[in-house]
Amino acid sequence: MTTIRSLTTRLQRVSLTRPWAADVTSVGVIATHVVRSDGAEGWGFSWSPQIGAPAVNALLEHDIAPAAVGRSAVPGEAWQGLWEHLHEAGGGGITTIALAGLDLALWDAAARSAGGTVSGSIGRRRDRVRAYGSGVNLHYPLDDLLAQVQRWIDSGFDAVKIKVGKPDLAEDLDRVAAVRELLGPDRSLMIDANQRWDLDRAAMSVDALSRFDLAWIEEPLRADDLDGHTELARRIDVPIALGENLHTVHRFGDFLRSGAAQIVQPNIVRVGGITPFLRIAELAASHGAALHPHLLPELSGQLALTLPDTASEVLVEDVEDAGFGSLGALVDPAPVTIADGWLTENAHDGLGIRFAPLLTDDPARIDDPAFTAGKDPS
């Protein structure tokens, strides 16, 4: 049996071209490297934009790496046992985010060893998948928001998503109305409240905004409010999308069984990697729910190519100027390309996601937010 010989990690931050907020100018990445007993190597990563990256790195270094050594290196075989090993620290959240670092590296190692790609090893079902334009733009003045939407139109996207949740609903109405007018009637428009509303405010807001022909309302309530989302689904006609802040297949099951979500959006890293993501995809399909992976198109786009056909077309989220390749964070060319509103896979090995090292040899400075891939602040 091929086993895990070693797992090592490197904590770093990647600067964003377009800050997601005044205090979110970079995202945290924990680059992972696994070596198998047969000498094969694989690379993966864990990810947390603002909070928790050092804690994820510590969990990988002090708890996951020692527990992983000697376990099966076959993708998926060690996942459940390691999740159970970590459960004392929580069933999801930091634990599953950290587990993704190992899981992705094991899938990468297996595909590289076989001389192929991860999507090829799973089984690619389509050659391309549609992408939608997305942005962290609630703080944008209206003119900047409309300029962003125009860039998406010019880039060939036929679906876009914007943020809502201003203190005054009238401002949300003005912004969504202006975006719909610019998009015209034939492009899809999604809105994302990022958990800003309570139940009554959500029902009132969605009712008012629904006149703009919305494809979905994303995270209208606190992400873990199962009862609230179930009741909201009864009150509104717009489909509810959520899942970026759900961390286990069990929790996705709760929301799907209750009818609280018609669209699920698992983040492949936050749920623990490719292994649990594929289980969540099967669960969503069994409930007739649409699945659109959250963020990280260089990873989620590859997996989207492997998902079975359902009644709803899979969509991949492309946040403007946030791809790791475009940010200069990768050693190799990006494994996917998004053009004319479609994502296609480029030639690459494994996952094709290896992060460029820090330009420092001083471990005491790695937690410095100024340190980013390929850039040295000194």
DSSP string covering 56-123: HHHHIIIIIHHHHTTSB-STTTTHHHHHHHHGGG-SSSHHHHHHHHHHHHHHHHHHHHTTSBHHHHH-
371 Cβ partners below 8 Å, 6+ apart? 12, 13, 358, 360, 365, 377
230: enclosing H helix or E strand: helix 226-235
CA dist 230 and 223 (Å) reads 12
Number of Cβ atoms within 10 Å of the Cβ of 148:
21
The SS3 of residue 211 is helix
CA dist 8 and 12 (Å) reads 14
9: enclosing H helix or E strand: strand 4-15
- Is 294 marked active-site? yes
- Amino acid sitting at position 81: G
Whether residue 104 contacts residue 32, with contact meaning beta carbons closer than 8 Å, is answered with yes
Q: Is 133 left (phi over 0), alpha (psi -120 to 50) or beta?
A: beta
- Amino acid sitting at position 64: I
Number of Cβ atoms within 10 Å of the Cβ of 88:
9
CA dist 378 and 369 (Å) reads 13
| Catalytic entry in 33, 229, 247, 294 | 294
Strand-pair category, 26-36 with 41-48: antiparallel
| Catalytic entry in 163, 247, 292, 348 | 163
- φ and ψ at residue 152, rounded to 5 degrees: -65, -40
- Is 348 marked active-site? no
CA dist 328 and 323 (Å) reads 9
List active site positions: 163, 294
